[in-house]
Chain A
Amino acid sequence: MAKRIDVSDLNVYYGAFKAVEGVSMTVEPRSVTAFIGPSGCGKSTFLRTLNRMHEVIPGGRVEGKVMLDDQDLYAPSMDPVMVRRTIGMVFQRPNPFPTMSIYDNVAAGLRLNGVRNKKTLDGIVEQSLKGANLWNEVKDRLSKPGAGLSGGQQQRLCIARAIAVQPQVLLMDEPCSALDPISTLAIEDLINELKSDYTIVIVTHNMQQAARVSDRTAFFNLKATGEPGRLIEIDETTKIFNNPNEQSTEDYISGRFG
């Protein structure tokens, strides 16, 4: 079910402000691609254009092309709601629905898709929680509020919620930045398992994390504040961290700036 993403010459605007300029890249299926770069370089903004979540922010729009296999995500006939059902997203801060139980959180997306059958729901909820390595911790309290879990558990609950609708691609926007090291490790292990089924794109500020979890790494940068962010280079993670093509990548990796 994993699909390839092809981006060509993408510009992202918020109103008149050009936030990201001229990004072209290919995201391979069944692999983890990490986006790294200094704050404000547009990596999160670019990630959001991959499932059209940037349109939630007033004035957000793009120029260019994003293809999911042979589907044009920005074709006039393409419904952004359908795009988001195909390409799931996990956010920086865990955001389980506070009024819902653990079970209902995982089932939320399925119910939006019209799944009502109790047996089907039970099955997919269990399978998704197992897929997110959370089942053993919550199986006895599925009816308890999701917001009562620890931060790391909440984030895995959000991952379970995202994979319950069986997306083609999973986008993660700094999924560990609000978590402690042990919870972070649990999420990273999970990402490693998930990549056999999903195409995963992860934005991270933690370069060790990018090195640990990703197959390919993309480095974003901007010339100065107020300038649009650009993709500097994308390559095998080992290549980016050991022998990058661009001087600015090496400067960033080695901690000389950023």
Chain B
Amino acid sequence: MSTVTGVSATDDPPGPDGRTPLRGVSASTGRLGDRLFGGAATVSGVIVIATVTLIAVFLIVQAVPALRDNQASFFTSREWAPGGDTPRFGIVEFLWTTVAASTMAMIIAVPFGVAVALFLTQYAPLWMRGPAAALVDLLAAVPSIVYGLWGLITFAPFFKPIQGWLENTLGWIPLFSPTGISGGTILFIGLVLSIMVLPIVTALSREVFAQTPLAHKEGALALGATRWEMIRTAVLPFGRPGVISAAMLALGRALGETIAVTFLVSSLPDGAAWTWSLFNGGETFASKIANNAAEFSNPNKTGAYIAAGLVLFVLTFIVNSIARIVIERRKAFTE
């Protein structure tokens, strides 16, 4: 902390006997409890880092031989014929389906989740906050197969006319052009995913919004801010890193969600024409792997699926890194 006057309320006080105050590692006393706790924490940290590293190594080691034998372009081909003497496989279709469905889910779930969190922390009457928050949290505890069943039995028939209407009105936009597929389209999967990740966004955003210091809120109100202006001036900026983290966790879940998607998705027949439409079907990484787990008969075939899993892993990693960078860049302003 730099000061111009040279007087700061936060200057460190001198330690006892005029020694420099204990800080960081030197604050350890070397007593048994200290050593036990420090050791346990260190071991836990190392194990987590080692696990992530080993998963990456596993994926790479298993995927490389299959990728070497691959006769098609891994990133741009739409073929999927792994195994055999001349395996040909590419992931572009899974990549598009996964990213498009997850993006749809984020576009819906993040604003909606933040709004719900703001309602629960800033607008709802006090007696309502606890029970309503518990209900939203309960949504997060619903197993994904239940979302799959609900999507198939209840939501799909309900969505069908909506899709028809969208195709009629917005069909001239490539994203909404009709494909003849109904049911497990990308848009439909995205909607189900958005409901699945909504409680994650809501619960985490609610935590950070509720922790907005009263001093900041009062500072805004005393300037003559209305409730919404107070939220914009004090609550949202304070909660921003938390909301980004929440969105990333939710995106991670949406990208990797398997059971509900496998259950709902309309896979495309071989050789189906390419389209950008959100009303197209298509497998995601996770559903493709899950649907074909029975076929892991030879290492090269398995390797192709693992390569697909590796892409999903890297995708999640990139998304998280971007979130970190966004949060770090504004760090000086959030302390």
Contact = CB atoms under 8 A, between A and B. Distances in A.
Interface of A: 51, 53, 56, 58, 81-82, 84-86, 88-89, 91, 93, 95-101, 108-109, 112-113, 137-138, 144-145, 147-153, 158, 161-162, 165, 178-180, 182-183, 186
A85 B222 CA distance: 7
A98 B335 contact: yes
Contact of A152 (B5, B219, B237): B5
Contacts of A113: 224
Interface string B196-224: 00000000000000000101111111111
Given A108-B223, A151-B9, 5 more contacts: A99-B333, A113-B224, A153-B5, A158-B219, A165-B224
B253 interface: no
B121 to A, nearest CB: 14
Interface of B: 1-5, 7-10, 126, 213, 215-226, 229, 233-234, 237-238, 240, 330, 332-335
Nearest to B219: A95
A152 B7 contact: yes
A88 B7 contact: no
B222 A180 contact: no
Contact of A98 (B10, B217, B238): B238
Given A58-B126, A97-B233, A51 B9 contact: no
A100 B332 contact: no
Contacts of B224: 81-82, 84-86, 109, 112-113, 165
Contacts of B221: 53, 56, 84
6 contacts: A81-B224, A91-B215, A99-B330, A100-B333, A150-B7, A158-B219
A221 to B, nearest CB: 26
A58 B8 CA distance: 35
A56 B215 CA distance: 12
A108 B233 contact: yes
